[in-house]
Structures are given as structure tokens and as C-alpha cells.
A and B are shown apart, each in its own frame.
Chain A
Amino acid sequence: MADEQLQNLMDRDAIGEVMHRYGTSIDTRDWTALRSCFTDEIEIDSSETPFGRGGPPLRMSGDKWLDQIRRIVTKFAATQHMISPYRIEIDGNRAICLSYLQARHFPPNSTDPHSVWTIGGYYTNTMLRTQQGWKILVWKLTQTWQENPPNPKSVTPDLE
């Protein structure tokens, strides 16, 4: 039992660390660190976001999903993804990690608070245990609110 408890604590710590690394590497534009959070093939479930419009989950390479994130976030002078892992349910080599999100996106050349695009909601990601540690196998964002949204076309990933 003690071994299982210790393993469970280690797994929970490592899964939370992946979600923190995911958010921080987007904001620091550390694309190598961001890519390390994803499996080589990843499923993107954007059905509960404004840009997903209820469509089915899509499979793509981790490289392609990285490119989509990079294309959008580099339009902003700064971003900050505050991520708080609240619930982690581990089942063998898979886990579901629910993390609250508040993300602020600052357009270039503005300090006006009303220019800041803020989104809130939560991730319900499926995590996979790999030889290189836990990684995000299914990325699912449920966006519950936003403030000052920009033109949707400029911030919609290409999911085809």
C-alpha cells in the first residue's frame, strides 16, 4: 500500500507539472518545452470552445498542434496562462486531469485594461504515461467565459 501511495503521489505531482509546463512554455515561447507536453499524435477536442462550434474531436500530430498554438499566441505582446490542476484521476497508464484556466492575452502597444482578451474555463485533458513521462494525449478545453474578444478569425486554429 505504501508503494502504491508513493507512486500515486509521484504521478499526481508529475501530471500537475506537465500542465504547469504547458502553460508556462506557451507564455515564454519555449516551443521545445511545449512540444514535450504532447504525445506525437494528439486528439484536439474543441467542441466546447467558441472556435470549435461543437465539432467532433480531431487527431493531428503534436507538431501541427504546436504550430497552431504558436501562430496564435505570437500575435500578442504577452500572454499569461494561469493553470490550476484541481482534480487528477489516475487509471493505470492513463489519467484525466481537470485544470482551471484563466488566460490573459495582451495586444501589442497597449496598456488599456479593456484591450486585454481574457478567457476562463477548464481543461479536461487525458494524460498518457510514456517512457518520457506523462504527456497530453487528448487536449480538451471548455471555455466558459471571455472578456474583450478579438476578431475571431485572428485567433481560430486551423483544425483541418
Chain B
Amino acid sequence: MTDEQKLQELSDRAQIIELMHRYATAVDSKDWTTLRSLFTDEIGSEMIGLQADLGLPVNTTADRWVDVISRGLARYSVTQHSMSNHRIDLKGDGATCTVYVVAHHFLRDPGDGPSIYSVGGYYNNTIVRTSGGWKIGKWKLVGTWETGA
């Protein structure tokens, strides 16, 4: 690899990691405008391994996807998505990014049930390079555990 290629790869990796961190922060701060900006206009979504069904369309517009997510999270007063263990596989203008997540969701009105819904697993997202930077083209969440469901 030339120095330019090394620098490009480092830069791409850093930007993709930041993309996923921005995703987590946007969801937790309920900043739907920022969340929307992290996706391509048309996106795929897939969620496996969890009891919860968010009713996400398999293929949809990012606008609709953010709308579904924001309504699904409305019953929680606070969420926190912690991420780590990034694995990035770069292929030209595309990439896959696997990143661990532990997400805690605090119910506004838990009633007699558990007040915290916690889920762990990993995202296995497809990332694409656009003229506006790297964006999420397919969102995939693989749940490996959940408590308080």
C-alpha cells in the first residue's frame, strides 16, 4: 500500500466508526434530523433474534424508517446505546460494519412490569460511500440476548 492508500483506509475506518457513534447518540438524544442524515435515501432493514417486533419495513425510505423508529421509542423516557468492538470490512465504495451494542430502554410507564428493557447483540450494517460521506444503506440488528422484555 502507498502512504496515500494507508491514509485513505485509516480515514475511511475512522469515519465509519464515527457514523455508528453518531447513530447511537442521535437515537439516544432523539435527534431525528441527525439520525435521518446518517442513512441513504432508500434503505434496507432486518432485525433477528429478538422477541420485539418494531414493524420495520424490509425496504423503505429513510424518512419512513426514522418515523417508525421515533414512534417505537416514544414509550421510553431514556435510552442508551453503548457500542464497541467495531469490525470494518472495506471494499472500495462499500463496507460492512459489525459493531456490538448494549442498549438500555427505560419505560415511561412501566406499570407492574419491568421498568428497563435491555438488549444486547450487534449491528451488521452495510455502509456506502456517497457524495455526502459514508452512510448506512442497510441496517441489520442481530440480538443475542434481552432482559425485561
Contact = CB atoms under 8 A, between A and B. Distances in A.
Interface of A: 2-3, 6, 9-10, 13, 17, 20-21, 23-24, 27, 78, 80-84, 102, 104, 106, 111-113, 116
B99 to A, nearest CB: 9
A80 B102 contact: yes
The 5 closest A-B pairs by CB, nearest first: A113-B147, A20-B85, A82-B84, A78-B144, A80-B120
Interface stretch (B3-11, B28-36, B68-76, B128-136): B3-11
A113 B118 contact: yes
Contact of B147 (A27, A84, A116): A116
A3 B85 CA distance: 27
B18 to A, nearest CB: 14
Contacts of A104: 102, 120, 145
B145 A80 contact: yes
B63 interface: no
A85 to B, nearest CB: 9
Nearest to A99: B84
Contact of B13 (A6, A13, A84, A116): A13
Contacts of B121: 80
Interface residues of B, number: 23
A84 B84 contact: yes
A81 B148 contact: no
25 contacts: A2-B3, A3-B3, A6-B3, A6-B6, A6-B7, A10-B10, A13-B10, A20-B84, A23-B84, A23-B85, A24-B85, A80-B100, A80-B120, A80-B121, A80-B144, A82-B82, A83-B84, A83-B85, A102-B102, A104-B120, A106-B145, A111-B146, A111-B149, A113-B114, A113-B147
B10 A21 contact: no
B100 A24 contact: yes
Contacts of A13: 10, 13
Interface in B1-23: 3, 6-7, 10, 13
Contacts of B6: 6, 10
Contacts of A102: 102
A24 B98 contact: yes
A88 to B, nearest CB: 14
Contacts of B120: 80, 104
Given A13-B13, A80-B121, A104-B102, 7 more contacts: A3-B3, A17-B87, A23-B84, A23-B100, A82-B82, A82-B100, A113-B114
